[in-house]
Amino acid sequence: MGGSDATLSTEESAAGVFGVVSNATRAQSGLFYRYDGERLDW
C-alpha cells in the first residue's frame, strides 16, 4: 500500500477523491466510497 508499490499516483488518487466528494449527494451522507466512486460496505 503506497510508496513505490502504489497502484496509482497521488495525483490520480486526489483527483478521484475530489470528484467523489464534489458529486456527493445528501443521500450518500454516511456512506463510504473509494477514490473511483465505488461504494464500500462498512
* pLDDT tens, residue by residue, 8-29: 999 999 999 999 999 999 999 9
The torsion defined by the Cα of 29, 31, 33 and 37, in degrees rounded to 10, comes to -60
**Phi and psi angles of residue 29, each rounded to the nearest 5 degrees, phi first:** -60, 135
Cβ within 8 Å of residue 16, ≥6 positions away: 34, 35, 36, 37
- pTM score: 0.77
Q: How many domains does the chain have?
A: 1
Find where cell 500500500 sits.
Answer: 1
Reported as a pLDDT band with limits 50, 70 and 90, residue 5 is confident
Domain range enclosing 27: 3-40
Helical H segments across 1-42, by residue range? 10-22
